[in-house]
Amino acid sequence: MAQHTPGPWEAKNDHPTEPRIFYIRGTHPGGWEQEIAVLYNENGENARLIAAAPDLLEALDWLVTALKTGTLATSGDLIGKAEAVIAKAEGR
């Protein structure tokens, strides 16, 4: 399976004439901006959720690792990171 473009991704509505077109962009490992997706007739909430996908995956991976290793109680910044990712996905 091919590896996805690493995060962070961002959702932008920078189309010059159409307010319901959103671009999801990330940075390719080579350093250039890469278009991940173009969403037509979408709202900003869906675009932000898609853009947060790599961060959500990373936060879930941290959580699973903490649960498996029994370090959840000592993973103080895990909750803060998870809350930040949720806020990004919700556009806060």
How does pLDDT run across 7-41, given as a tens digit for each residue?
Answer: 888 888 888 888 788 888 888 777 788 888 888 87
According to the model, what pLDDT value does residue 20 have? 82
Both tokens of residue 48?
């932000």
> Is the link from the previous residue into 8 a cis peptide, with omega within 30 of 0?
yes
Q: Which domain holds residue 73?
A: 52-92
Asked whether the beta carbons of 11 and 46 are under 8 A apart, the reply is: no
Confidence of residue 75 (pLDDT cuts 50, 70, 90): low
Look at the alpha carbons of 8, 54, 39, 33 in this order and tell me if their dihedral is positive or negative.
positive
Q: Does the pLDDT of residue 1 top 50, yes or no? A: no
Both tokens of residue 44?
């900003």
Residues 4, 21, single domain; the answer is yes
Residues 36, 57, single domain; the answer is no
Residues 2, 27, single domain; the answer is yes
Residue 37: half-sphere exposure toward Cβ, Cα within 13 Å? 17
